[in-house]
């Protein structure tokens, strides 16, 4: 029985291959018409893919069928496959350089090249972004959908005031999960945000969600978000048997503006940096041997005053972080003062790859 089934499957496969093998240039027009029908029926990208497959098959059977190349380019453009669309349109113009619509097609190629540049610029934004306090966020992009997430946001008293009997205000030590899910239209962002439940001593601050709007600027390496969130007061009551949460209440609806800078490059120099106010120099403590920095010449007690020729005193803490990050294998030029010397020493070090921040929030 197994042998019979195997033989039947083999015959079916051979039959299908024979049909494909028998297709000739004369069948190209059939596939082109099928592609047109697929476009007329298409309501989703997956249905547009069917049209692209039909036009693609037509060009394989008859590489000189100019209409198939034109239609293939049109569908590829709608699917956001800009490089492929440009190639198809250029093949169309090679076949019919004097076509009545030649100038329109050339203009369409220019538009596609611009979209390609913009798409590359948007893709380059994927990565780690930082709040002014150093909180990292991961930005992921799929088409026009932007997801910004962190599980490392430290809860402040602007968000939760936690009190304890006889003690007063106490810090909230748990980190908060926050996710922003947005759609991009040009530079504008809009969508929804969410934060997970927060533990404030014996109290539990509930999850919260709401609308968010904002803007993203690749040129300024900035994301600005605007939204409203609740401010809570949570009271933990002391008890002989067991402390308990006596109340959780909303005290205010706060308008929030969050400014992020990024993305942080995937390559690092290996220098450990903290968050600080504007400084003129970074004092280097004890440095481990045989690291890229020590091999490049950095020594303990060196004072870093500039990176890539830019004085630290002119940079914000986040900008300093970003200057020490960059593309893997790119070179950072670190200027240091050593001992009583007044002239800085330049140390050149290549940035190396490191594990990228991936929060659990937003998975």
For range 42-70, the mean pLDDT? 93
Tell me the sheet residues that pair with 347.
Answer: 334
Q: Do residues 52 and 82 both lie within one domain?
A: yes
> How far is 207 from 218, CA to CA, in rounded Å?
31
pLDDT at 14 over 60: no
* One domain for residues 114 and 196: no
The domain in which residue 63 lies consists of: 2-122
Among residues 264, 295, 311, the one where a domain terminates is: 264
Specify if 360 maps to a domain: no
Strands 222-237 and 160-164, by their bridges, are parallel
Token pair 């093998």: residue: 21
- Among 211, 246, 264, the domain boundary falls at 264
Q: What pLDDT score does 19 carry?
A: 45
Q: Which stretch, 206-220, 263-277, 323-337, has highest mean pLDDT?
A: 206-220
For tokens 């970074």, name the residue. 282
Please check whether residues 142 and 243 belong to one and the same domain.
yes
pTM of the predicted structure, to 2 decimals: 0.70
Confidence of residue 15 (pLDDT cuts 50, 70, 90): very low
363 occurs within a structural domain: no
* The two structure tokens encoding residue 93: 């113009």
pLDDT at 2 over 60: no
Q: Which of 74-78, 154-158, 181-185, 216-220 has the lowest mean pLDDT?
A: 216-220
Q: For residue 236, give the nearest of 269, 271, 289, 199 by alpha carbon.
A: 199
| pLDDT at site 277 | 66
Residue with tokens 């995937």: 266
Residue with tokens 């099928």: 34
Contact 163, 170 (CB under 8 A): yes
Identify the band that residue 100 occupies on the pLDDT scale cut at 50, 70 and 90.
Answer: very high
Q: What's residue 361's pLDDT?
A: 61
* Domain shared by 220 and 282, yes or no: no
The reply to whether 331 and 280 lie within a common domain is: yes
| CA 152 from centre of chain | 17
Q: How far apart are CA 92 and CA 95, in angstroms?
A: 5
Tell whether 88 and 206 lie within a shared domain.
no
pLDDT, residue 265, reads: 85
Cα within 13 Å of Cα(117), Cβ side: 6
Residue 355 contacts residue 363 (beta carbons within 8 Å): no
Q: How many domains does the chain have?
A: 3
Q: Residues near 175 by Cβ (< 8 Å), separated by ≥ 6?
A: 151, 152, 153, 154, 155
Same domain membership, residue 14 and residue 96: yes
**97 vs 354, more confident:** 97
In the predicted structure, residue 106 carries a pLDDT above the cut 90: yes
Does residue 132 share a domain with residue 106? no
Domain containing residue 185: CATH number: 2.40.128
Q: What is the pLDDT of residue 280?
A: 75
Q: What angle do CA 79, 80, 86 make, to 5 degrees?
A: 105
At residue 285, the pLDDT reads 77
Note whether residue 340 is domain-resident: yes
Q: What mean pLDDT do residues 7-22 have?
A: 48
State the Cα–Cα distance between residues 87 and 81, nearest whole angstrom: 10
Question: Between 273 and 137, where is the model more confident?
Answer: 137
- The pLDDT, as a whole number, for residue 214 is 96
Token pair, residue 362, equals 């937003």
* Percent of the chain clearing pLDDT 70 (strictly above): 92
Structure confidence at residue 303 (pLDDT): 87
For all residues of the chain together, what is the average pLDDT? 87
pLDDT number for residue 10: 46
Q: What average pLDDT score do residues 39-62 get?
A: 92
Examine residue 228 and state whether it is found in any structural domain, yes or no: yes
Q: What is the largest CA-CA distance in the chain?
A: 92
Please indicate, yes or no, if residue 172 is contained in any of the structural domains: yes
Task: Give the pLDDT of residue 296.
Answer: 84
Last residue of a domain, one of 215, 235, 264: 264
Q: Is the per-residue pLDDT at 140 higher than 80?
A: yes
């Amino acid at each position: 029985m197994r042998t019979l089934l195997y033989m039947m499957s083999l015959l079916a496969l051979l039959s299908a291959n024979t049909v494909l093998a028998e297709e000739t240039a004369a069948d190209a027009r059939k596939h082109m018409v099928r592609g047109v029908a697929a476009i007329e029926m298409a309501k989703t990208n997956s249905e547009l893919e069917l049209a692209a497959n039909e036009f693609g098959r037509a060009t394989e059977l008859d590489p000189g069928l100019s209409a198939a190349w034109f239609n293939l380019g049109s569908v590829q453009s709608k699917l956001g496959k800009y490089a492929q669309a440009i190639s198809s349109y250029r093949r169309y113009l090679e076949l019919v350089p004097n076509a009545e619509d030649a100038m329109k097609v050339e203009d369409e190629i220019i538009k596609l090249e611009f979209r390609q540049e913009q798409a590359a610029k948007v893709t380059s934004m994927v990565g780690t972004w930082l709040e002014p306090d150093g909180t990292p966020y991961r930005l992921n992009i799929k088409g026009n959908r932007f997801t910004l997430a962190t599980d490392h946001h430290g809860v402040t008293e602007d968000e939760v005031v936690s009190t304890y009997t006889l003690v007063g205000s106490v810090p909230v030590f748990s980190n908060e999960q926050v996710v922003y899910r947005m759609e991009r239209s040009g530079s504008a962002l809009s969508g929804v945000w969410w934060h997970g439940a927060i533990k404030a001593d014996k109290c539990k601050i509930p999850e919260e969600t709401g609308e968010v709007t904002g803007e993203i600027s690749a040129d300024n390496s900035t994301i600005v978000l605007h939204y409203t969130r609740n401010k809570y007061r949570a009271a933990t009551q002391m008890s002989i048997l067991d402390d308990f949460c006596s109340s959780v209440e909303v005290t205010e609806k706060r308008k929030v503006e969050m400014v992020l800078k990024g993305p942080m490059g995937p390559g690092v120099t290996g220098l450990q940096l903290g968050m600080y106010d504007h400084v003129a120099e970074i004092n280097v403590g004890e440095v481990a041997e045989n690291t890229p920095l020590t091999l490049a010449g950095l020594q303990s007690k060196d004072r870093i005053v500039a990176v890539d020729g830019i004085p630290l005193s002119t940079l914000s803490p986040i900008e300093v972080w970003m200057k020490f990050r960059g593309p893997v294998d790119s070179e950072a030029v670190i200027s240091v003062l050593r001992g009583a010397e007044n002239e800085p020493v330049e140390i050149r070090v290549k940035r190396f790859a490191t594990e990228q921040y991936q929060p659990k929030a937003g998975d």
